[in-house]
């Protein structure tokens, strides 16, 4: 990161959004900045993050982050805390969908490992690095961006098997962290954006990023005193999972 904190944003809540340089992540960054938060646009490609930050304005700063690298996670969180003191909001948005049209009986070991490493372990690494600071501060909002494909209640097909399993497991992580963090001021929830027009969702998806980002942003900005935690939500309503 370059430069100093914008004085006008001092004292504001700070949000870190993984995979913030495109798709839903970029829109989540834009909406959080619009609500007055200082936003760290975390991305593998720094130039892409810088471009998003230029479009958003001074409330957004780029941060280099690859969630599959423990070193990168440690360094990014260190940099963020050094600069802003706290990370009040973490949106684990970075995700991959690598299965194509595979089925559950057509397993590619490499795809399974790569998918879990980003969608589950990446989010877990981030939570492990960020949540202790939230607990010390007595405030935190952790949002894991999930999918209806991860819902056991909606598991009507084995297509996209590693993606589905990764999101089911991510929801379990949400539930475990929420239970362990009860009473700390840190709320942990999963948000399903719905099928959205992005690189992953493709051009046929019915929702635009603005709508897709709505539930993640809602959960990321739950007001002080709110007790919503351990849930999986779509369109701001509980999703059967």
Dihedral angle computed from the Cα positions of residues 155, 161, 165 and 166, in that order, rounded to the nearest 10 degrees = -130
> What tokens appear for 88 in the block?
């009040």
Contact 98, 114 (CB under 8 A): yes
Among 198, 215, 221, 229, binds ligand NAP (CB under 6 A): 198
First to last CA, the chain: 39
Q: Does 161 engage in binding with ligand NAP (CB under 6 A)?
A: no
* CA 126/CA 37 separation, integer angstroms: 19
Q: Does 150 engage in binding with ligand NAP (CB under 6 A)?
A: no
* CA 136/CA 149 separation, integer angstroms: 34
Nearest approach in angstroms of CB 138 to ligand NAP is 28
Q: Which of residues 17-76 bind ligand NAP (CB under 6 A)?
A: 18-19, 21-25, 43-45, 48, 65-68
Nearer to ligand NAP, 65 or 219 (CB): 65
Identify the H or E element spanning 56: helix 46-56
Nearest approach in angstroms of CB 184 to ligand NAP is 25
Q: Does 145 engage in binding with ligand NAP (CB under 6 A)?
A: yes
Question: Helix (H, G, I), strand (E, B), or coil: what is residue 87?
Answer: coil
Q: Determine which one of 149, 163, 233, 241 is catalytic.
A: 163
Residue 163 among the catalytic residues? yes
Q: Does 133 engage in binding with ligand NAP (CB under 6 A)?
A: no
Residues that bind ligand NAP (CB under 6 A): 18-19, 21-25, 43-45, 48, 65-68, 93-96, 118, 122, 145, 147, 192-193, 195-196, 198-201, 205
């Amino acid at each position: 990161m370059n430069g100093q904190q914008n004085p006008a944003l001092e004292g504001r809540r700070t949000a870190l959004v993984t995979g913030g340089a495109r798709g839903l992540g970029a829109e989540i960054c834009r909406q959080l900045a619009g609500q007055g938060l200082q936003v760290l646009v975390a991305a593998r490609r720094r130039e892409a993050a810088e471009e998003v930050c230029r479009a958003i304005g001074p409330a957004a700063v780029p941060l280099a982050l690859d969630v599959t690298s423990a070193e990168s996670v440690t360094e990014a969180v260190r940099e963020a805390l050094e600069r802003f003191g706290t990370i009040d909001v973490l949106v684990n948005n970075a995700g991959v969908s690598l299965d194509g049209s595979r089925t559950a009986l057509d397993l590619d070991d490499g795809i399974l490992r790569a998918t879990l490493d980003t969608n589950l372990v990446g989010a877990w690494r981030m939570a492990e690095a960020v949540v202790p600071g939230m607990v010390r501060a007595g405030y935190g909002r952790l949002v894991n961006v999930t999918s209806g494909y991860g819902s056991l209640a909606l598991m009507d097909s084995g297509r996209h098997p590693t993606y589905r399993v990764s999101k089911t497991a991510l929801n379990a992580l949400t539930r475990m962290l929420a239970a362990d963090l009860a009473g700390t001021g840190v709320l942990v929830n999963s948000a399903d954006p719905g099928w959205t027009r992005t690189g992953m969702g493709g051009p046929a998806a019915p929702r635009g990023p603005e709508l897709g980002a709505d539930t993640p942003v809602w959960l990321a900005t739950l007001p002080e005193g709110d007790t919503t935690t351990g849930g999986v939500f779509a369109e701001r309503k509980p999703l059967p999972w």
